[in-house]
Structure formats: structure tokens, C-alpha cells
Amino acid sequence: MERCILPCSFQVDTHVVIHWIQLTKGELRVHLYYDDQDQLEHQHQNYRNRTSLFKDQISRGNASLQLTGVKVQDEGRYKCYTSTINGNEDSFINLKVKGMRNTQLNRNHNINKFMLSDWCIDLLLSANLHLLSQKLKESRR
């Protein structure tokens, strides 16, 4: 199963709120976290059982989202909204699903399965470089 990590970071503080929203298709709720736990009751059905945060790293300012079972339909613009007692921030990621290979028919379920190439690595590299440049600017202040 293909997976991808959408990077997001925030300034560490208390009362952490993390909302991941897919903007391309009308602000779909991808993943919500507050009160020190996932709050998935209002998560859009397209993302059920496919998202997770790195809970052991939230206290270090990591709000990155892991998306599993990546599909072409996941492509689009995502917003990572983070909030703490000292303020909030929005970060944006454009997810592009490219490098599709031939589809294979799964006879057991009669559905198409897509084989994905290393498109996720390109996304992570460009997003991490952007985050690194932001942190360098902040440290110079």
C-alpha cells in the first residue's frame, strides 16, 4: 500500500489543535486533533482509516500527516491548520499523484489498483526544503 507524508510543523506550546483540510474539493476534513487526541467523528469518509499523525512528535512541533492507500483522487491542495495557546498558523501543501504505471485488474474485488512510483519523495524534498528555509529565517530574527 502506497503512503505519503504531508509535512507540517508549528511552534511548540500548550493546547495544540491540528486540522488537515483538503481544499481542492470543498474543504474536506482529512484529520482533526485536539484535546490531546484524534477527533475523527467528522472526518470525511474518503479519508477514513487512511490518516495518522506522529503522536510522539506533536510535542516537538511535528503536525505532519501520514496518508496511506494514496489514490489519484487524493491529489490537490491541502491546508494544515495548527493552533496553540499563543496563536495559529496555516501551511499549504500541493499533493500531486504522478508517475502512474499501468493499472492492474484485481480479480478478487473487480477493482482497478494503481501502482505508484516515487512521486512522494519529490513532494517531501521540496516541502522539507521550504520548511528548512522558514526555520532559518526564524532563527535569524
CATH of 3-140, one of 2.60.40.10, 2.30.30.180, 2.170.120.12, 1.10.3720.10: 2.60.40.10
For residues 109-128, one letter each, b for 16 or more C-beta atoms within 10 angstroms of the residue's C-beta and e for the rest, the string is eeeeeeebeebbeebeeebe
- State which amino acid sits at residue 55: K
Higher pLDDT, 93 or 121: 93
Report d(CA 78, CA 75) in Å as an integer: 9
Task: Measure Cα distances from 48 to 9, 38, 40, 60, 69 in Å.
Answer: 23, 12, 8, 26, 11
Please state the pTM of the whole predicted model: 0.72
Q: Give the H or E element holding residue 113.
A: strand 111-113
Model confidence pLDDT, tens digit, residues 33-92: 999 999 999 999 999 999 999 999 999 999 999 999 999 999 999 999 999 999 999 999
* Every domain of the chain and the residues it spans: 3-140
Model confidence pLDDT, tens digit, residues 81-113: 999 999 999 999 999 987 554 333 333 333 333
In this predicted structure, the answer to whether residue 19 has a pLDDT above a threshold of 50 is yes
Greatest C-alpha distance within the chain:
59
Confidence of residue 2 (pLDDT cuts 50, 70, 90): confident
